[in-house]
């Protein structure tokens, strides 16, 4: 088999539903023959399933030891957060998973400071990604978060609405935070070559329908739980492996990624921007949209700032002014 690279790829949280799917996806894509499955719960059963699938010229290791897992790691995808359990508040989840992200960042710094790219997908990913970046010491271009699902949800919803194949719906993007405060951008969208904005407000697609669709997109994750009886796991797994494939120099990633932003408008936050992701890492430009869309993006940023500030209050991260002492790249 031809592989994109021989570099070691580590899947963190590999024993779980998302992680085990990422392992299979990475193997099917032929990313690397050097795959390590790491989890605090033994991922040996997942490794066995992969071996029994007959992916036969790859070396699949499984470990619960982080030092062993991260040794020589060049790429990491982490779905290794704790799920929200009954009785947990949103703040409990934020605190718990950001503490996991802090440790992940520190482990990267300790065991694989030469890692090339890290993709973070455990919730809330905008914050866990930010915390991982801070403590890892990596450059902003080297740590991204999964933010694409909102954009693919928008594409899928529009394709269904207009009865066209998904690839006939172009320019879909949601920016800002990956949560209900995300900013859905419609101004670049085309349906079979026709600008969406020419359709909005017509009998074919009323303003009310468009407003409802935007709400539905931001609640797409809840819809999957309603339909499947469980959280989505295939789509986040698949898309995050597409991200790491792009970072390895493979096919370009077609969707916005969550990236560290520090510019004249937004200060030290992780959020979905107009990004490119390739072997040079992640780079962004500011999204362009209508005044209303830009206002939504500002609001999404403000919402993320509040959560980041909660992390300061919780002593998980210091004040922003201190960040460069921990990670000179920020």
Sites of contact with a second copy (CB under 8 A): 15, 20-21, 24-25, 28-29, 42, 44-46, 48-59, 148-149, 152-153, 155-156, 159, 165-167, 220, 223-224, 226-229, 232-235, 238-239, 242, 254-255
Matching residue, tokens 């349906």: 191
Nearer to a second copy, 203 or 229 (CB): 229
Give the three-class secondary structure for 297.
helix
Nearer to a second copy, 59 or 206 (CB): 59
Distance in Å, CB of 171 to a second copy, minimum: 13
**Whether the Cβ atoms of residue 244 and residue 26 lie closer than 8 Å to each other:** yes
Clarify whether 178 is annotated catalytic. yes
3-state helix, strand, coil in the chain (%, to 5): 45, 20, 35
**Whether the Cβ atoms of residue 293 and residue 274 lie closer than 8 Å to each other:** no
**Whether the Cβ atoms of residue 152 and residue 169 lie closer than 8 Å to each other:** no
Residue 84 burial (C-beta neighbours within 10 Å; 0-12, 13-18, 19+) = middle
Nearer to a second copy, 56 or 264 (CB): 56
Nearer to a second copy, 115 or 148 (CB): 148
Nearer to a second copy, 133 or 148 (CB): 148
Distance in Å, CB of 47 to a second copy, minimum: 9
The Cα-based distances of 206 to 165, 182, 201, 243 in angstroms read 21, 22, 4, 35
Q: From the CA atom positions of the chain, what is the Rg in Å?
A: 20
Residues in the chain: 330
Distance in Å, CB of 162 to a second copy, minimum: 14
Distance in Å, CB of 198 to a second copy, minimum: 22
Distance in Å, CB of 318 to a second copy, minimum: 37
Nearer to a second copy, 149 or 261 (CB): 149
> CA 219, CA 51: separation in Å to the nearest integer?
37
Catalytic residue from among 178, 197, 283, 303: 178
Distance in Å, CB of 115 to a second copy, minimum: 25
> CA 83, CA 274: separation in Å to the nearest integer?
29
Torsion angle of alpha carbons 83, 89, 91, 94, nearest 10°?
A: 0
Active site residues: 178
């Amino acid at each position: 088999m031809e592989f994109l690279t021989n570099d070691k790829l580590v899947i963190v949280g590999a024993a779980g539903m998302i992680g085990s799917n990422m392992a299979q996806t990475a193997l099917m894509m032929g990313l690397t023959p050097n795959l390590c499955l790491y989890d605090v719960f033994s991922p040996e059963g997942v490794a066995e399933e992969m071996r029994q699938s007959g992916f036969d010229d790859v070396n699949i290791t499984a470990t619960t030891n982080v030092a062993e897992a991260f040794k020589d790691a060049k790429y990491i995808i982490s779905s290794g957060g704790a799920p929200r359990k009954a009785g947990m508040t949103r703040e409990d989840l934020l605190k718990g998973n950001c503490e996991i992200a802090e440790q992940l960042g520190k482990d990267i710094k300790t065991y694989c400071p030469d890692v090339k790219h890290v993709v973070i997908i455990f919730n809330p990913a905008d914050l866990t990604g930010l915390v991982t970046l801070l403590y890892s010491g990596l450059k902003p271009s080297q740590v991204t978060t999964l933010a694409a699902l909102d954009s693919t949800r928008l594409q899928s919803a529009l394709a269904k609405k207009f009865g066209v194949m998904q690839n006939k719906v172009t320019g879909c993007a949601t920016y800002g935070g990956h949560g209900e405060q995300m900013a859905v951008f419609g101004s670049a969208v085309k349906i079979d070559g026709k600008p969406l904005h020419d359709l909005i407000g017509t009998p074919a697609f009323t303003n009310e329908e468009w407003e409802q669709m935007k709400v539905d997109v931001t609640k797409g994750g809840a819809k999957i739980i309603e339909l499947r009886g469980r959280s989505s796991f295939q789509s986040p797994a698949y898309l995050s492996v597409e991200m790491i494939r792009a970072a390895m120099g493979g096919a370009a990633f077609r969707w916005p990624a969550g990236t560290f932003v520090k510019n004249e408008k937004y200060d030290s936050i992780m959020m979905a921007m107009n990004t490119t992701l390739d072997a040079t890492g992640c780079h962004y430009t500011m999204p362009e949209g209508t005044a209303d869309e830009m206002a939504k993006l500002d609001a999404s940023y403000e919402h993320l700032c509040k959560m980041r500030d909660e992390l300061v209050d919780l002593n998980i991260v210091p004040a922003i002014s201190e960040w460069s002492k921990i990670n000179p790249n920020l």
